[in-house]
Amino acid sequence: DIVMTQSPVSLPVTPGEPASISCRSSQSLLYSNGYNYLDWYVQKPGQSPQLLIYLGSNRASGVPDRFSGSGSGTDFSLKISRVEAEDVGVYYCMQALETPQTFGQGTRLEIK
């Protein structure tokens, strides 16, 4: 199985400041079609997870442009250019390259 490792585990951020979460996979998520099969999800308190970024760098519908995904192969990151209070939650990366699909352990973003 592909192991997904996120860092940090906890991320306190001041509103208006940037934030970055790292995700590393145990094997490359770059497929022969040129796409990286890496998604980012956020689970806000008391809610279902929601898709933020798919195929490494594509924002899902309705996701603000302050969120961006980058990386290739085994190293990926999610960046928030200016954190807002509504961004509080747990962020997960997930590989969609092969089954079993696997998630990182999550990064809890909190507001300072």
Site residues, other proteins (CB under 8 A): 35, 37, 39, 41, 43, 48-51, 54-55, 58, 60-61, 90, 92, 94, 96, 99-106
CA angle 18, 57, 98 (to 5 degrees): 125
Half-sphere exposure of 46 (CA within 13 A, CB side): 0
Backbone angles phi, psi at 87, to 5 degrees: -85, 0
Rounded least distance, CB 50 to other proteins, Å: 7
Q: Which is nearer to other proteins, 14 or 50 (CB)?
A: 50
d(CA 9, CA 11): 7
The SS3 of residue 73 is coil
Rounded least distance, CB 112 to other proteins, Å: 23
Rounded least distance, CB 16 to other proteins, Å: 29
Q: Which is nearer to other proteins, 44 or 66 (CB)?
A: 44
The two tokens of residue 101 are 């699909």
The two tokens of residue 110 are 């909190």
Q: Which is nearer to other proteins, 88 or 90 (CB)?
A: 90
Q: Which is nearer to other proteins, 16 or 34 (CB)?
A: 34
Rounded least distance, CB 23 to other proteins, Å: 13
- The H or E element containing residue 59 is strand 58-59
